[in-house]
Each structure stands twice: as C-alpha cells, then as structure tokens.
C-alpha cells in the first residue's frame, strides 16, 4: 500500500571487520577530536556525533602515523580472512553477535607479551599450513606497524554496537552552509626534467568538508578548478602514475591562488595502477600463460579487483592456500572454516588449483616477475572531467584521508570488503545536482542525499509503521519529472521521494510479487523492477495510472539480474542461469521472451578442452565465476527515447546494441584500455550517448553511437569497485552520479567544453 513516510535522519554504527575497531570497553564519554574532524563527522554522517559515543573515528584519530599505516595494511592484507560479517548492527539486532571470521579475530590479546608478539610475527612472515607466508609481501617495518596497530585494539565488540541497535532517533546535524566563492585555484604541473605533464590528477579538499574536488591538467600542463569556497584552507595534491605525489597547503582567498607542482618520477609505481592495468600486465606470450590468465579472470575477477588480488607476493604453497580458502568462501559470507568445509567448492578453483598456484607463483612469487606494468594518463577530451567525490561511510566510521584510496595511490587499493564503508551501491543526481545514494547494507536508513557543494549528508528512512523493518535500497534512479525512485528489496516494495517537496511513498506490487534489487525507467512513464529472489517475474509500475503489470519469466528457474526499460515501454533484464542471455517483456503483447546473446568479443574457449569447459559452466554465476565465451550482461541500460537496447558485457569484452523492433544486433569491442575492465552497467543520456563504468578499471567511458568513438575518463580514486552509474541532465548538461562500492564514496562527474576551459585560462593570465 502506498503511503507517505516520515523522513527521519538516523545513524547506525556498523561494527567493522573483527579486530579493526578499538574502543575502551567502559568509556562513557568520547574523547575529544580536532575541530575539523568533528565537523567532518557531522557532515559525512548527517547527525550529531555525540549521540554515538566512542566511534571508529575517535579511535583512528588517536592512532600514530605508524599505527594508522598498520590499520590500513591490516584492512588491505589481513581482512579477507580475519573478518566477520556478523559483527554488525544488523547482525546484533538479529542476535548474531559472535565473530565468525575464517581466521581468528585479532586484537591486543594476540600480541601481549614478548612470546605472543614473537609468535605472531613469525606466523605473519612464515605462514602456516593454511595461511600464506607474507615474507615476500610485507617488509619488516610494515609488519611492525601491523603489530603496533594490533596493540591498540582493545575489544572486538565495543558497547556502542549494542547502544546503536536500540537507538531510535538521534539528533540531526545542522548543515554548515557553503561560504562565499573564492577566486580561481590553478597552476602548472611539470616533471623534474621540465616537461609539462598532461593528464595529472589534481585534487583539493577543505578540512571539515566531506567533498574532494579533482580536475586534470591539459596539454599545457595547466589545471583549473571550478569555483571553490573562500575562507577555508585547502589541502591540494597532484598525482600521476609513475610519479611521486606532490602536496601543498593552500590558503584560498577572494583573489584566488596559483600553486605549481613539480613531480619526481618513480620506478616503483605498480601499486598506483588499476585492476585492469594489472591484468594487462600479466604475461600472455605462451599458451600456458593465456590459459592461466583466463582461469584467473574467470575464477577471481568477478569479486576481486586484480590490483587487490595480486598486490602481495606469495610462493606456490601460499597461493595454493589462498585458492583452497577462496574456493569455499561465499562472496559476502566468509564464516568459519567449519562452515566453509560444508560449502560446495568452486569447481574452477578445484580443477585448476595446482596449475594456477604454480603460475601465480611465477608471475607474483618471490622471484623475478615477467609482468610488465604500463602507466597511463588521460589526454585530450579525457582531461575535461571535473570529479566531486563524497565520503559515504557508515555513520560512526571513517576518517578523512584514511583508507579511501585517494590520498596516496602508492598505497595501493583499499580493502573493498570493509563493511564500514561498503554502502555506496548506486547513485543518481536530482535537478539541483545533489547526489542521492542507495544504501543496501544499512538497516536504519534507506537512501542518503549529499549536498553537492558541501557534501553534507541527509539520511532518509522509509518504513510502513514505526515498528516495521526500515527499508534499504540497492538501485536508485531519477525519472524525467525529477522524482527519485529506488527499490526496497528487503520489504519487496518500490520507493519514491520527490526532492523538491520531500514527499515520499512506499509502493507495493500486487499480492504474491516482491520487488527485487534492480529497477529502471522507460520512456512512457514506467518504472520497471525485477522480481526478488525466487520470484520469477518482472514488473512495471505506471507512474501515471499507478497500475502494475506483471510478466512471467520465460525461462523456468532463471536468475534475474539488472532491469531497464526502453522508449517503447518494453522491459529488459539479464539472466545468467541457466543460460547466458536477456529477457524482454513486451508492453504491447504482455508477453516475455528469451533473447540469446551474440558471441563474446574475447572468446578464448579454444584454450580449453571440452571437459574443462564443462568445469567452467558448472558454476556460471555473476559473482566470482565465469567461463570463456560468456557475455554476461549485468545491468542493461536501454535508451528511454528510442527502441535501442544497450548492454555492456561483464566477461565478453564488448558493448551490445540491440534494436527491440527489428532484433538487429551488433557488438562493439571495448577500447584496449578497457578490454578486461569488467563493465557493469550502461546508462544513456538525452543526447543518446552511452555511458559505461568499468568496475576494475576505476574509470568510465562514453560511446558515441553516431561516430562509434570512445572517450575514456579516469577516476581520481583507485579501488572504487564501482557497480553502476546514472547519466542525468542537470541544468541542461549531462552529469554522472555513481557509487564507489569498494572505496566508500559517491561521485558527481561533470564535463567542461574546450571553450569553457579556454575562458578559465584567459581569466588567470596577467
């Protein structure tokens, strides 16, 4: 039943992976933090931080630089096994309060005393029968920082988790208004040899604010920021692959400021690269290399960005241990070794275990590696993007410039499984350019709005009754009328908020149907939703008549994934099981049909025997498992102004175009820089341009159907693991709203014209 819901601002503290949060167990009052961090807490969380007591942010702020490095390394290298998805407010509310990580939870007790500390150091370095040896992956000083961090971890389950489960209505934080606009911030970036560098990412952030703004140097090596806020000091930094970062503090006044950077080259730059660049660096000169590279792609890349998977070096025994553990782990439910032993193993990892371990030891083992790393920088039109990125952690968590992947690319990617920041599933923009985020992993808020200027968060909660479960969301879109729509899959309903009035509604489908986590709009005022798990339906809600139309899935027991609508009012969704294809719901006939997909661009089936191909097909899902030749469109995006369907291939290396009237189809290969970047979603703007995010490439691309030309844009953050984007029109221009699921951020991307940039350059000339 549709109803108006009270918009409430709530906060929730998600207990992080075991051993990551340390708090005094009996402390009633939170310690003081610097004023700028307290302001950030209010802005990023959208609530007064005092109601949460001692938080993860208080703890992180108390760490020394070395201990904070240890916390980062622990998250990046140790979290995958020493982890618990049950140590959360969600779990505590359901009575699931025990740590259930695969490896033992770690805290101060593990390293108390010389004997225990010595034993932990030896275990980290030498490994065990089930744990890989990190002596090739971590330097002694890095192990020191991890040990130092663990010595600060007092309790794995701070009392604040229990308080937050019972918390009903914490106070709302008043936003700090945006100040006067400052003069221009600009400068030139050169190398130490005097070369002007194009494509350098230059970022600026005011302490206390929740937004980082990034621009790129042009062919003259110059960067020019959009208008920023005066009266605040800014941290400004310049980064380019294969160079050390340049940093500066800038006082930005009404007169503006010029800050030049000189960057020094570095030979050790592989940590700065994206997952797709790491994959491209893997050798493929022999049949063995080609085979194992494809096995690695199919078995591991569905869940893990390659720069995260390969950042550590292990010997053959170590890689074998990792494969054994990962073969029985669910992507989001690691559990205990006993639980893993009961789980059916991944057939690909079991079959290729020894061969893959030996190959990984060759390419990322103790000895010389045949990998060739190639840095890159954007050029031409790719440098015209303006990126605004907003921290989107769980309320109670995070710290500015920590574990977000953007402060120093040389640190490598973040741990994308850190659930304290695992919230930015999808995002869109309203008519004013504010960012709206779907939050699937937070049970006490449904969606979040970030003010595009200040980054201030406003949390919206929808529930049908005060005692009913609060809805969460996975997909979020904006329709042509400016209304924001989202799924509420945990209660099986559709949600809407009008950003102009704040009016909200919960809209349920007919009895017997449940809205799943995928939605999309069509060109006739319809909102499409894929049915929830085990609900083999697609459904359309007509926003004008308020009627629902249901379509039965044409393939029995098929999985639903993604949802969109085209200009004719037809619905499209993807399926992986039992066959790799699409479903089409015809609005005129009321029937749904199965649409087979064309061949993949990068079909490598000839590298394997028929028996081996059967092994790949044994677990064909959209998680970590694929097969040679699969196309696997995840989230399609038809054009709401035409009958053209677009879908980017997760495994198949290309962009599919399909005309829903004529059924004519064409596959456009991705450009080389995105060949294996794992494309997740397509979104079509009002000009018919097709926009695509590359999950492991930390990048997006625009495809022009008229010229068949690609333009690539590189994000300022590495390890984004982005799952989608929405191309919308704001003030007559295309802008992009997107979530960084792996890095805990949402982003708003804008695009200048060359003429606008030239005007900015002219304004800064004497």
φ/ψ of 58, rounded to 5, equals: -60, -45
Please give the tally of structural domains in the chain.
2
Please state the separation of Cα 198 from the chain's center in Å. 27
Question: CB-based contacts of 119: which residues, under 8 Å, 6+ apart?
Answer: none
Rounded to 10 degrees, the C-alpha dihedral 142/147/153/157 comes to 90
Please say if the pLDDT value at position 20 is more than 60. Answer: no
Residue 642 lies in a domain: no
Q: Are residues 297 and 312 in the same domain?
A: yes
Residue 291 lies in a domain: yes
Residue 65 lies in a domain: no
Please say if the pLDDT value at position 516 is more than 70. Answer: yes
Domain-ending residue, one of 235, 263, 291: 263
What's the domain range around 242? 185-263
More confident residue, 503 or 10: 503
Q: Which pLDDT score is estimated for 535?
A: 67
φ/ψ of 33, rounded to 5, equals: -125, 160
Residue 436 lies in a domain: no
More confident residue, 417 or 437: 437
Q: Are residues 296 and 281 in the same domain?
A: yes
> Nearest CA to 120 among 156, 78, 157?
78
Q: Which pLDDT score is estimated for 486?
A: 97
CB 102 within 8 A of CB 83: yes
More confident residue, 8 or 280: 280
Measured over the CA atoms of residue 451, residue 565, residue 679 and residue 14, the dihedral's sign is: positive
Q: What is the per-residue DSSP string for 615-656?
A: HHHTT--SSS---TT---B-B----TTSSEEEEEBSSSSEEE
Q: What is the per-residue DSSP string for 201-250?
A: EEEEE-TT-SEEEEEE--TTSEEEPPP-BTTSEEEEEEE-TTB--EEEEE
Tell the burial category of 195 from Cβ atoms under 10 Å away from its Cβ (0-12, 13-18, 19+): exposed
* Assigned token pair, 315: 């010997």
Q: Which pLDDT score is estimated for 695?
A: 94
Distance CA 694, CA 698 (A): 6
Residue 172 lies in a domain: no
Residue 354 lies in a domain: yes
Helices (H), 644-764: 754-763
Distance CA 615, CA 620 (A): 10
Q: Are residues 281 and 359 in the same domain?
A: yes
Q: How many residues does the chain have?
A: 766
Q: Are residues 243 and 320 in the same domain?
A: no
Please say if the pLDDT value at position 163 is more than 50. Answer: yes
Q: Are residues 254 and 320 in the same domain?
A: no
Rounded to 10 degrees, the C-alpha dihedral 615/630/650/538 comes to -100
Q: Using 50, 70 and 90 to split pLDDT, how confident is the model at 203? A: very high
365-402, pLDDT tens digit by residue? 999 999 999 999 999 999 999 999 999 988 888 899 87
Distance CA 429, CA 345 (A): 41
Q: Which pLDDT score is estimated for 100?
A: 62
- On whether the pTM is more than 0.75, the answer is yes
Question: CB-based contacts of 613: which residues, under 8 Å, 6+ apart?
Answer: 605, 627, 628
Residue 212 lies in a domain: yes
Q: Which of 192-196, 233-237, 296-300, 397-401 has the lowest mean pLDDT?
A: 397-401
Please say if the pLDDT value at position 95 is more than 60. Answer: no
What is the rounded average pLDDT for all residues in the chain? 88
Q: Using 50, 70 and 90 to split pLDDT, how confident is the model at 19? A: very low
Q: Using 50, 70 and 90 to split pLDDT, how confident is the model at 625? A: low
Q: Which residues pair with residue 187 across a beta bridge?
A: 223
Please say if the pLDDT value at position 506 is more than 60. Answer: yes
Q: Which pLDDT score is estimated for 714?
A: 97
Q: Using 50, 70 and 90 to split pLDDT, how confident is the model at 15? A: very low
Distance CA 227, CA 711 (A): 25
How many Cβ atoms sit within 10 Å of the Cβ of residue 348? 26
Strand segments, DSSP code E, in 498-536 are: 504-507, 515-521, 526-531
247-276, pLDDT tens digit by residue? 999 999 888 999 999 999 999 999 999 999
Q: Are residues 259 and 275 in the same domain?
A: no
* Assigned token pair, 297: 């792609």
303-330, pLDDT tens digit by residue? 889 999 999 999 999 999 999 988 887 6
Distance CA 572, CA 561 (A): 10
Domain-ending residue, one of 328, 345, 363: 363
Crossing angle (nearest 10°) for helices 347-363 and 287-300: 120
Distance CA 655, CA 658 (A): 10
Rg of the chain on CA atoms, in Å: 25
What single DSSP character describes residue 265?
B
How many Cβ atoms sit within 10 Å of the Cβ of residue 372? 9
42-80, pLDDT tens digit by residue? 999 999 998 888 888 898 899 999 999 999 999 899 988
CATH code, 192:
2.60.40.1120
CB 701 within 8 A of CB 652: no
CB 401 within 8 A of CB 71: no
Please say if the pLDDT value at position 466 is more than 80. Answer: no
CA 406 to each of CA 146, 241, 766: distance values in angstroms, whole numbers, following the listed order: 21, 13, 33
Q: Are residues 312 and 342 in the same domain?
A: yes
Domain-ending residue, one of 216, 243, 263: 263
Question: CB-based contacts of 26: which residues, under 8 Å, 6+ apart?
Answer: none
Helix (H/G/I), strand (E/B), else coil: 412: coil
What single DSSP character describes residue 49?
G
Q: Which of 77-91, 117-131, 417-431, 584-598 has the lowest mean pLDDT?
A: 77-91
Q: Which pLDDT score is estimated for 398?
A: 86
């Amino acid at each position: 039943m549709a109803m108006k819901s009270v918009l409430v601002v709530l906060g929730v503290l998600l207990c992080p992976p075991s051993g990551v949060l340390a708090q005094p167990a009996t402390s009633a009052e939170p310690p003081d933090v610097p004023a700028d961090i307290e302001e950030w807490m209010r802005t990023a969380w959208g609530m007064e931080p005092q109601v949460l007591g001692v938080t993860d942010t208080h703890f992180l702020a108390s760490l020394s630089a070395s201990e904070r490095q240890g916390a980062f390394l622990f998250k990046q290298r140790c979290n995958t096994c020493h982890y618990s998805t049950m140590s959360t407010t969600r779990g505590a509310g359901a009575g699931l309060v025990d740590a259930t990580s695969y490896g033992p939870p770690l805290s101060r007790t593990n390293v108390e005393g010389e004997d225990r500390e010595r034993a932990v150091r030896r275990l980290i370095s030498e490994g065990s029968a089930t744990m890989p040896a990190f002596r090739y992956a971590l330097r002694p000083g890095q192990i020191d920082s991890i040990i130092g961090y663990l010595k600060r971890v007092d309790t794995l389950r701070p009392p604040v988790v229990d308080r937050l489960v019972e918390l009903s209505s914490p106070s709302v934080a008043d936003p700090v208004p945006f100040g006067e606009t400052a003069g221009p911030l600009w400068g030139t970036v050169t190398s130490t040899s005097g070369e002007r560098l194009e494509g350098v990412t230059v970022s600026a952030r005011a302490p206390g604010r929740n937004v980082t703004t990034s621009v790129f140097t042009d062919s003259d090596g110059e960067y020019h920021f959009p208008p920023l806020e005066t009266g605040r000091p800014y941290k400004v930094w310049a980064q380019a692959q294969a160079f050390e970062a340049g940093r500066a503090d800038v006082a930005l006044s009404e007169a503006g400021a010029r800050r030049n950077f000189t960057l020094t080259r570095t030979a050790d730059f592989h940590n700065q690269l994206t997952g797709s660049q790491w994959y491209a660096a893997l050798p493929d000169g022999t049949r063995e290399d080609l085979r194992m590279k494809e096995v690695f792609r199919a078995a591991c890349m569905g869940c893990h960005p390659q720069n995260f998977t390969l950042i550590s070096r292990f010997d053959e025994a170590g890689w074998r241990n990792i494969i054994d553990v990962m073969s029985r782990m669910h992507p989001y439910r690691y559990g205990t070794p006993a639980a893993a032993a009961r789980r059916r193993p991944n057939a690909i990892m079991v079959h290729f275990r020894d061969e893959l371990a030996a190959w990984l030891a060759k390419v990322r083992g103790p000895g010389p590696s045949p990998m060739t790393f190639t840095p890159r920088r954007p050029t031409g039109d790719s440098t015209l993007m303006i990126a605004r990125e907003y921290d989107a952690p769980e309320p109670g968590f995070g710290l500015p410039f920590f574990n977000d992947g953007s402060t120093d690319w040389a640190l490598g990617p973040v741990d994308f499984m850190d659930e304290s920041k695992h919230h930015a599933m999808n995002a869109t923009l309203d008519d004013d350019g504010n960012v709206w985020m779907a939050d699937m992993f937070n049970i006490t808020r449904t969606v979040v709005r970030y003010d595009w200027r200040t980054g201030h968060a406003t949390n919206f909660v929808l529930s049908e009754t005060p005692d009913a479960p609060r809805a969460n969301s996975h997909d979020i879109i904006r329709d042509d009328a400016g209304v924001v729509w989202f799924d509420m899959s945990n209660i099986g309903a559709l949600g809407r908020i009008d950003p102009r009035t704040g009016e909200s509604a919960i809209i349920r489908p007919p009895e017997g149907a449940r809205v799943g986590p995928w939605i999309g709009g069509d060109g006739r005022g319809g909102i499409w939703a894929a049915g929830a798990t085990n609900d083999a339906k697609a459904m359309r809600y007509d926003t004008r008549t308020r009627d629902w139309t249901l379509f039965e899935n044409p393939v029995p027991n098929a999985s639903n994934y993604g949802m969109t609508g085209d200009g004719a009012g037809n619905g499209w969704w993807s399926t992986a099981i039992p066959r790799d294809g699409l479903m089409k719901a015809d609005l005129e006939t009321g029937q749904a049909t199965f649409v087979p997909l064309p061949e993949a661009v990068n079909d490598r089936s000839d590298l394997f025997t028929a028996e081996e191909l059967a092994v790949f097909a044994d677990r064909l899902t959209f998680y970590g498992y694929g097969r040679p030749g699969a196309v696997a469109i995840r989230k399609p995006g038809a054009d709401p102004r035409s009958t053209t369907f677009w879908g980017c291939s997760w495994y198949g290396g290309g962009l599919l175009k399909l005309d829903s009237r004529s059924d004519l189809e064409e596959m456009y290969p991705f450009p080389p820089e995105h060949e294996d970047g794992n494309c997740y979603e397509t979104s079509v703007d009002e000009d018919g341009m097709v926009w695509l995010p590359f999950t492991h490439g930390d990048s997006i691309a625009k495809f022009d159907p008229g010229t068949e030309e690609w333009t690539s844009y590189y994000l300022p953050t590495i390890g984004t693991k982005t799952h989608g984007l929405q191309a919308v029109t704001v003030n007559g221009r295309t802008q992009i709203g997107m979530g960084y699921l792996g890095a805990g951020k949402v982003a708003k991307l804008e695009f200048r014209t060359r003429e606008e940039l030239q005007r900015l350059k002219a304004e800064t000339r004497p």
